[in-house]
Structures are given as structure tokens and as C-alpha cells.
Amino acid sequence: MARLDGKVALITGAGAGIAREASRLFAKEGASVGVVELNPETGNETAGMIKADGGKAVAIQADVTRPDDVERAVKETVEAFGQLDVLYNCAGGSAPPDDSVTEMPIEAWDRSIQLDLYGTFLGSRFGIPELKKAGGGSIINMSSVMNFLGEMRGFPPRHSYSAAKGGVSALTRCIAAEYAKDNIRCNAVAPCFVETDRNIAVKAGWTNEMTTTVLHQHPLGTGRPIDIASAALYLASDESRLVNGVILSVDGGMVVI
């Protein structure tokens, strides 16, 4: 028996990176997947990959910062597969012009809070009622090492992203505490630097000093999308039945170095 047999999962930001990897992995483990993505082309591509592997998926174009879109994404996933058991709020990300509190444009703050924190809130806002109908389920949120660190040594500040991910971790604990009575668990994954396609392109612009710093900070090597997707799979499955309110670091020990 596969680890997510019979379960229905909704995964946001699933047209690329970690969420695409998780969508494919969850489907291989038996889940039917609502592939929720802003970019309809890449969302369709992920759903196509899952189907080509013999899995079940439906691509849903939606912006996680828009309440109507998120409500519809949940509805369309349930219409396609009958229920919702796993909600993986993965869409998010950090990018310039995020900077220090005094240097970032005000809009950079709004972007991080909207995409990383508000988008995560909206997923649960509309997902929890369906998880309740299914008799419970698992919510996985995306935090980051930046939820623990003020700044990453050797790199420009990302204060709005760090604050948004800190908010995601706090929200994760609130949901874990409130909805355990409904058999709903909520945990977050906090990755280090992950070698997604986007980050491989970012790395190409690093100085030698930045590369050395990153190697030092990642004694077990930088992350691969599958490292993070595997942690999310554990949190999605019944193997983590008693795990609730945890911010699971998947960082090779980066935050303790």
C-alpha cells in the first residue's frame, strides 16, 4: 500500500520547484492532487507529468493572494476528487527588492506578507472546512530557515520574507492548537537553500565569497527539492499521526551551526 493511498491533496505553487516535486511524489504515493498554480502553463505541465506517471491530478489556475481564487481552488479540487485530506500551502518565495527595514521599498513588505503569510492563511481559511468534512487531515505550511535567522550571513537582508515566514510558523502553531479537536494537524517545513531551477539560476550570479559562505552553512550540502518534498510527504501521511504544531527544519543543521 502506498503512503497516501485514497487521499486527496491540494498543493499551491505547484508549477515549479518544491511544490512540483511534492505534487509528483504525493501522486506516486497514491494521492489525487489539485495542482494549484498562478501560471496556467506550468500548472498544466505538472498535472501532465503526474498523469504521464499514471497518477491523478487536476490543474487549477489560481492566485493564492486572492480569496475568491483560493476558495475556488478548494472547491474544484473537491469537485474533481470528492474530498480534501491534505493541504500543502507551498506557494511563496523571497526576491529583491526585499531588503532591510530601512532600505526596502514599502511594496516589498506588502508582497512578502501577501504571498507568504496571507496566501498561507487563505489556504487554511477555505481548506479547513473541507478537511473537517473529510473527518480530519493534514496541513503543511512552508516556513524557512529565515524564520529562525535574522539574516543569512554574506547575503543581502530579506527582512520582509523573514517576518512573513515567522508569521507562517506562528500561524502553524495557532492552527495546530485550535483544530486538533477536529483531527486536523498543522505543521511547517523550514528548508535551507534548495536547488530549485529558480535558485540554480540565482546561484549563477553569486560571488566566490557567497558560494564559500553557503558551503560552510550547509555541511551536509544544499537542499534538493526531493529532500523537502519527502519531509512534506511524511507530514501528509498517517505516519506523522501524532506530529502537530512542529516547524520541521530540513536544513542539514544550518540553524544550529
Q: Is 161 a catalytic residue?
A: yes
Give the range of 98-106, 121-129, 176-184, 193-201 binding ligand NAD by CB under 6 A: 193-201
Mark 32-71 with x for binding to ligand NAD (rule: CB under 6 A) and - for no binding.
-----xxx--x--------------------xxx------
Q: Among residue numbers 98 through 127, which ones bind ligand NAD (CB under 6 A)?
A: 115
Q: In what order do the strands lie in the sheet with 247-250?
A: 56-61, 32-37, 8-12, 86-89, 137-142, 184-191, 247-250
Indicate which single residue of 32, 77, 144, 187 sits in contact with ligand NAD (rule: CB under 6 A): 144
CA distance 195 to 18: 9
Tally of CB atoms within 10 A around 105 = 13
Residue 155 is a binding residue for ligand NAD (CB under 6 A): no
Measuring CA to CA, which residue among 116, 159, 146 is closest to residue 217? Answer: 146
CA distance 243 to 257: 25
Exactly one of 118, 161, 179, 234 is catalytic; which is it?
Answer: 161
Determine the residue with CB nearest ligand NAD: 17
CB of residue 232 vs ligand NAD: minimum separation in angstroms?
10
C-alpha cell at 142: 512552508
Yes or no: say if 222 and 194 are a contact pair by the CB < 8 Å rule.
Answer: yes
The torsion region of residue 139 among left (phi > 0), alpha (psi -120 to 50) and beta comes to beta
Residue 93 is a binding residue for ligand NAD (CB under 6 A): yes
Closest to ligand NAD by CB, 95 vs 177, is: 95
Q: Give the residues lining the site for ligand NAD (CB under 6 A).
A: 12-13, 15-19, 37-39, 42, 63-65, 90-93, 115, 142, 144, 191, 193-194, 196, 198-199
Which residues are designated catalytic? 161
